[in-house]
Structure 1
């Protein structure tokens, strides 16, 4: 093994440029996979920590499956179960705090962005949990406006025992007197503010409700405890579960989908890296035929030759993977810093540093090193079949189309025809399968097409380099090595196919969601909570706030949203309560199926609901169906009357019902979002001043000009799309590495040929142009194939979004095609710089002596 390693290191150190370019391909792929998987889990963990309530240290925590509040009578059923020693109820509510609420300093972000208001029955709660009061006293029966907090929370707010803690609540800004201090909070999670249960019910406008039942058991035997737990579930019914309160599960699903997309991009980068390494090792074998033949003549076994080649790959894989892990961590940290302001603005989250797990490191190492070794395995096996006699034979000349167009080519033609046929089926499954067939068909057909396409592009380049002959020399070299040209062009094809595909998706998303956004956020004013889409973590306002707003002179319409959580076919669903009449006036929903007027009329008179496309696709329901909603009062049947969506809820499983039924079935009358239109003759400044005055008592809300908010979101769209385009271009970098690698290897392999050209009178400029022509022809082949594959994959991706319920409209990616062509030409020119200089500087005598 030491011999193999010594030979591998000696060869790699002697080919520094090639080694660096090949290793860089692995660095890039590992960096994307590792970096994105340090970023996304960190965000998910932060979301769960800050937007989900945590259970106390008790034996059992019982909640409604939807997270909604329920009647305290459920506790009687729990207490009646044999083995339950004590049970108590609590009302927990996550309160997202407005930005800079703690220190009022916009320059330094608050460490505390949310707290949990927890209402408890003091005597019962102390039987469940041993609260260690370090200052003051615990809550007592009869306390009002009293709170117990931790020392760490007191320090953050700058308050002490006897001071007042002000929190935004459903009835306005409320003052709580601190009567007791608990030790510092050590475990991760939101800080808890303990208040009497009756006080919590008053502050949240949820009289006689709880949403958590805690129980301690009388046995420590595991089997007995499991038996008691099952008996508790039987007693309370299937609408409840054992586990802590959860919020935002519907948005976490979309976050994980995004993580899968980034993983796919990283995997594509590694596959392209594999192409580069495969191409490099194939050329290494061709270049070292003489060396390998001599080693075989001296007695080296086939296994020894194989291990020499694989050891070179192993060294590059280890080095590339190690560097990829380092740069991946830096990439993840940079991405977190770049996106943190957006998370703070829209989800009220402070994201921590990247998170690294042992499994992620191991997976990245396996992928990085494994793909490198696999890419070198086929060339290594071919090296073992080289005999001394074969090593002495001259190189092959040009290859004709007839010779190449064998079974692989015609197999590719068949796959191409099948893929095109599947495109017209309209089925997402068939189109997705067709995309794989399409890319495979192009790769199989490419070797036979290299020669005719090279001739065509060489003819075009002849117009640029008139009477030089360099373009036809470049075409001849590519035609002699169609396999190597195909591998390099395939790398470019995959990279630019991703660019065109993303252009199709992004342009279609921009067209669709901009229209929806302008419609659903087009009110004159919006009153918004700290977080959007994750409605369950917001503290809203009692109905009197909407009434106050309606009384402001110049106000024409005030329409509000209310939220409740439910399940449909075990799928987490957000229910939004709307006022059908005012919502219809504002025309806020974009309908895909069903009549708007008929749908709103039905919602006023019966249990009818409008669903969005994401819910329809996830649950397999459509207008006309009847579905059961899980509510605190049991299951209720609703009729689906239309399919529509709005901008804020387009990405989560959402249904709309009337506010009458959300209050009757879910007990919710808390407004969390306000749409307001004013009369044409209203004094905007006076109206805004009146709104600002009213909202002083509700700091959890902010007043936003509807038109300006749409413009702000449009700018955010542009920034996100630009970032995605940059990421797609970033993914194309391996194709540049592949082209530089191929050209540099070609220069080394043709050293003697280039020396002969120089000897018969070719000047340095002509040699440079020959290499540049070769690079441009290679990039043109890859770009042409990439645009074809990208158009197919882009259409497939839009259809995939439609299948998931997003209201997509396909837009031909003209800009994406122009970008792909520009990137292809630019990469071709850039790839030629170093190899062209290398070829032009060859010494004629030394080149003629080159073996």
Structure 2
């Protein structure tokens, strides 16, 4: 073993640049694996917190059965329960206000007659729920007499940031300085006034007391959630009661879908990190074929060769892995710092440090050290089987016809045909396998195609370097070494495939959601309940409100939604009642199956239903099917006349029926959402004032400008997409750096060949041009293959979203392709620049003596 270590260290120290580049590749591979998977849990937690806040949901709440306050020691018991991720205590009391307390107008009904004073721990509360501070700032732990209120409460009371809000409390009138405003969307019920826990205890004369514990769990798996809840009940005792987020609720379904996407990206990072390490080290060992032959000629046996390579790989693997873990953590931290400030423009997210688990350290170490050793062992095993004379003989490219008839090539052809056939079939369930077939086919076919493709790109480059003849020389070098060219091009292919795939998905998602958003919510005014999409928790209004809205001068159309909950074969279904004639004029639904006109006519004349894509996918329903819905009076059969969705209900299992059928079968006639369109030339300000006055009697609703609401949602979508682009860059950039690494190593290995060219009269400029041309051809080949693979994978991902029931419009990623071409060629050129200049400056004799 000492001999192996000595020989390995001597070899590594004798080739410092190549050793550094190889170790750097291992570092970047581990960095991708470790950095992405430290970043992802923190990002997922922030996303989950945001989703829960939008729906106004907490996993578990604990209160005393009497409703009274209790000692915070109960909170400590809860925190000790295994499976509790975050738990925080709060103190809240409803403060009933005297008549005309704020408006001082006896002749008008009080808009605000009570507020909910809630004391919280600001730091822990932001880990439970995202508080979207639209003006000012959020509470700080040591804020004295400070409050955060909603923008709607501020408008009704006539105060703003920096003003004072006076409330009657147990210790008298308390003057609270308003330090921040939250959005108008709040939970059903009274407006909240948020203060620190210590301040609430002082104002309510309850020192050291809390009356509510909010808990978020560490899992979404239903059986484990039930187990954790039982442990909590056991810990707190019979005097307390528990309220839990229902396992079948829409919010949990949304979070699970998001986690599936994030886990897929984490797996992709893991796969890419392993590929970077394997690809680079395999290139190094393949280039050492002649060294191995010399060792065999000197008497080394196969075991010696394997032991030497194993030791070298182990040393580099350990060094590269340790460095990768350190830099991966720093990279994950940096990525969080870059994303979070942008998100805080709209979401007051408090994100912790990157999450590090023992299992992640173990997996990253195994990938870093294990894959490095394996990458060196497999080519060394192959080289050790070759006779010394054959190993010392220079490798010469084979005739392309022979490669075209090889087993690997024809295997690739078969996989390519299968992949294209699956793509044409459009079967979403098979598209993932089709993508694997397609990428595998490109890798298997690449060695045979290197020669003709190199000739093609070589001829193009010859137009630039016609006088020097360097492009043909570069093309000849690649044709003689198709294996090395394939390895390098495959690295580029993986990087470009990721870029194109993400560009396809993000451009398609952007196009789809903006289209659905503008179509669904393009009305002049929106009258919204406290929570959207979770309609069952809202208090609606009688039909008289809609009639009064129609009577306002300048109003042309009022369309309303009504809600009822139902089930179909155990699947929870949210039913929205619409007026088919009014809803048809809005053109709010985006249809993926069925004719809109005939669908709306069917809603008027029979028990018909339009379902959204999520419900169709979850229950396997098709156009024309008959489904049985559970109603308060029994089961009723509805015919599916369309598959369509709108923006607010795109992620939940939803059906649209007529308001008449909703009243007959479910007994519901309250309107929970309103869309108002104005007549041409109407005075918008006057209409808005009239609606605002009318809504004073309906405090559960908020008035929004449709255009402003759409623009706000677009900005929020931009923030989400920016985060996704950042993750795509995180996945692609290390692969591009690995491409630079592989190309640079290939140039170093040709130092002796470069010396021969110099010896026969080539100038330094010509040497640089040859290597630059070769790098450009390699990057062009890899980029071309990557674009093909990325287009397939991007289309596959879009179809996968459709398979999950989300309405998707595929957008060809033209800008992504242009970016991939530019990046691929740029990095290819950069990869060759420094090594080419170094080799071109070598003394001819020294270059000829290299290795």
Specify the TM-score bucket, using the shorter chain as the normaliser: 0.7 to 0.9
Please show how residues 797-816 of structure 1 align to structure 2 within 5 Å: 797-816=797-816
Task: Kindly indicate whether the alpha-carbon contact (under 8 Å) linking 1:26 and 1:321 is maintained by their aligned counterparts in 2.
Answer: yes
Partner-residue secondary structure (3-state), 2:466: coil
Aligned position for 1:75: none
Task: Report the Cα distance in structure 2 between the residues aligned to 1:632 and 1:362, rounded to whole angstroms.
Answer: 55
Provide the C-alpha distance between the structure 1 equivalents of 2:570 and 2:290, rounded to a whole number of angstroms.
Answer: 61
Deviation sequence 1:236-281 (CA, Å, 0-9, x none): xxxx999789561232233123213422432343244145334433
1:310 has 2:316 as partner: no
SS of alignment partner, residue 136 of structure 2: coil
Q: What's the TM-score, normalizing by structure 1?
A: 0.74
| Secondary structure, aligned partner of 1:307 | helix
* Residues 614 and 651 in structure 2, CA contact (< 8 A), matched pair in contact too: yes
- 1:191-340 aligned at under 5 Å gives the runs 248-283=251-286, 285-286=288-289, 288-289=291-292, 292-293=295-296, 297=300, 301-316=304-319, 318-319=321-322, 321-323=324-326, 325-331=328-334, 333-334=336-337, 337-338=340-341, 340=343
**Deviation for aligned residue 1:188:** 6.3
The answer as to whether partners of 1:506 and 1:721 remain within 8 angstroms in 2 is: yes
Q: 1:761 to 1:720 in 2, by over 3 A?
A: farther
1:54 Cα offset (Å): 2.1
Query: What does residue 56 of structure 1 align with?
Result: 62
C-alpha contact 2:542 2:671 (8 A) present in aligned 1: yes
Q: Distance in 1 between matches of 2:211 and 2:323?
A: 40
Q: CA deviation at 1:519?
A: 1.7
Q: Distance in 2 between matches of 1:683 and 1:423?
A: 53
Distance 2:321 2:780 in 1: 33
Secondary structure, counterpart of 2:214 in structure 1: coil
Tell me the distance in 1 between the aligned counterparts of 2:448 and 2:781.
12
Residue 99 of structure 2 aligns with which residue? none
Aligned-pair CA distance for 1:656: 2.2
**Which residue of 2 is the match for residue 465 of structure 1?**
465
Point out the more displaced range, 500-509 or 440-449: 500-509
Deviations 1:632-654 (A, max 9, x none): 77766544332111122223322
Q: Distance in 1 between matches of 2:492 and 2:417?
A: 23
Cα distance, 1:382 vs structure 2: 3.0
C-alpha deviation, 1:616, in angstroms: 0.3
Match of 2:439 in 1: 439
Q: Find the aligned partners of 2:407 and 2:481 in 1 and give their Cα distance.
A: 19
Report the CA distance shift for 1:293/1:38 in structure 2 as closer, same or farther (over 3 A).
farther
For residue 464 of structure 1, report the CA deviation from its aligned partner: 0.7
Q: Tell me the residue number matched to 2:821.
A: 821
Say how many residue pairs are matched: 733
Q: Match for residue 557 of structure 2?
A: 557
Quote the residue 2:400 is aligned against: 401
Whether 2:34 is the aligned partner of 1:37: answer no
C-alpha deviations, 1:667-702, integer Å up to 9, x for none?
Answer: 766654331112223211122233445557777755
- Are the structure 2 counterparts of residues 751 and 349 from structure 1 closer, same or farther at C-alpha, using a change threshold of 3 Å? closer
Alpha-carbon contact 1:625-1:639 (below 8 Å) kept = yes
The whole-number CA distance in structure 1 between the counterparts of 2:414 and 2:193 is 74
Task: Determine whether 1:189 maps to 2:195.
Answer: no
Moved more, 274-283 or 739-748: 274-283
Shift of 1:717: 5.1
Contact 2:416 2:441 in 1 (8 A): yes
What is the DSSP-based 3-state SS (H/G/I as helix, E as strand, rest coil) of the residue aligned with 1:647? Answer: coil
- CA distance in structure 2 between the aligned counterparts of 1:107 and 1:743, rounded to whole angstroms: 52
Write out per-residue CA displacement over residues 566-600 of structure 1, whole angstroms, 9 at most, x where no aligned residue: 54334444433434343233221123333445544
- Distance in 1 of aligned mates of 2:497 and 2:307: 40
Alignment partner, residue 645 of structure 2: 645
CA spacing shift, 1:54–1:736, aligned 2, 3 Å: closer
Match of residue 427 from structure 2: 427
> 1:758 matched to which residue of 2?
758
CA distance in 2, matches of 1:849, 1:105: 69
Which residue does 1:613 correspond to in 2?
613
- Measured in 1, the distance between the counterparts of 2:782 and 2:734 equals 13
Kept in 2, the 8 Å contact 1:396–1:480? The answer is yes
Q: Is residue 569 from structure 1 mapped to residue 575 from structure 2 by the alignment? A: no
Return the alpha-carbon distance in structure 2 between the equivalents of residues 475 and 429 of structure 1.
41
Match of 1:64 in 2: none
Give yes or no for contact 2:490–2:782 (8 Å, CA) kept in 1: yes
Partner of 2:138: 109
Contact 2:617 2:805 in 1 (8 A): yes
Contact 1:12–1:312 under 8 Å retained in 2: no
> Partners in 1 of 2:493 and 2:822 — Cα distance?
14
**Is 1:46–1:350's contact at 8 Å kept on the other side of the alignment?**
no
Q: Which residue of 1 aligns with 2:656?
A: 656
- Residue 21 (structure 1) shift: 3.5
Q: Following the alignment from structure 1 to structure 2, what is the Cα–Cα distance between the partners of residues 113 and 802? A: 41
The CA distance in 2 between the partners of 1:837 and 1:744, in whole Å, is 11
Query: Structure 2: how far apart are the matches of 1:694 and 1:110?
Result: 34
When residues 456 and 243 of structure 1 are mapped into structure 2, their CA distance, relative to the original with a 3 A threshold, is closer
Residue aligning to 2:518: 518
TM-score, length-scaled by structure 2: 0.74
1:445 shift after superposition: 1.0
Please give the alpha-carbon distance, in whole angstroms, between the structure 2 residues aligned to 1:113 and 1:544. Answer: 35
Deviating more after overlay: 243-252 vs 789-798: 243-252
* RMSD over equivalenced CA pairs, Å: 4.7
Say if 1:354 and 1:297 are closer, same or farther in 2 by CA, change over 3 A: closer
After TM superposition, the structure 1 = structure 2 runs for residues 445-524 of structure 1, keeping only pairs within 5 Å, are 445-524=445-524
Note the C-alpha offset of 1:542: 6.9
The verdict on how the C-alpha distance between 1:598 and 1:808 changes in structure 2, with shifts beyond 3 A counting, is: same
Matches of 1:165 and 1:659, distance apart in 2: 47
CA distance in structure 1 between the partners assigned to 2:358 and 2:699 by the alignment: 43
| In 2: Cα distance, 1:750 partner to 1:368 partner | 27
CA distance in structure 2 between the partners assigned to 1:157 and 1:324 by the alignment: 52
Deviations 1:782-823 (A, max 9, x none): 122222223333333333333222333444433333333222
The structural deviation recorded for 1:325 is 3.7
1:450-488 Cα shifts (integer Å, max 9, x gaps) = 122212212221211122122222222222221121111
| Residue number in structure 1 paired with 2:771 | 771
Counterpart of 2:62 in 1: which secondary structure? Answer: coil
Assess, with a 3 A threshold, how the Cα gap between structure 1 residues 278 and 674 changes in structure 2: closer, same or farther: farther
Q: Whole-Å Cα distance in 2 between the matches of residues 251 and 103 of structure 1?
A: 20
Shift of 1:184: 4.9
